Amino acid sequence: MGTNRREFEEPLEYKIIIFSNAQQDIIEIVKWYDLQAEGLKEKFLVNLREAINKLRMYPSAFGFAFKDVSKIQLNIFPYSFF
């Protein structure tokens, strides 16, 4: 009935690469939030995971930091992930 098959397909998942310097930044951020308030570290990690999953599923939906490098702003915390 004129239905586009792509409407019903699952989106492709793209590979997310986290470089070692970014991993170190995340570790330091997590340590800092852990010292600030109970549960803040966990809230940050949940927000980060959600952003990574959104970026993996919809890489062009949030803009680009560089050519072919997608970028997403975390919802609650003042960080961008790309």
Task: Output the pLDDT for position 70.
Answer: 84
What's at 5, amino acid-wise?
Answer: R
Helix (H, G, I), strand (E, B), or coil: what is residue 57? helix
DSSP 79: -
Question: Which helix (H) or strand (E) is 40 found in, with range?
Answer: helix 40-57
Place of tokens 């997403």: 72
Task: Output the pLDDT for position 59.
Answer: 82
Query: Taking the domains of the chain in order of start, what are their residue ranges?
Result: 17-81
**Residue 27 in this model has a pLDDT that exceeds 90:** yes
Task: Output the pLDDT for position 35.
Answer: 97
In the predicted model, what is the mean pLDDT of residues 12-33? 91
Position with higher pLDDT, 58 vs 77: 77
Residue 49 banded pLDDT, cuts 50, 70, 90: very high
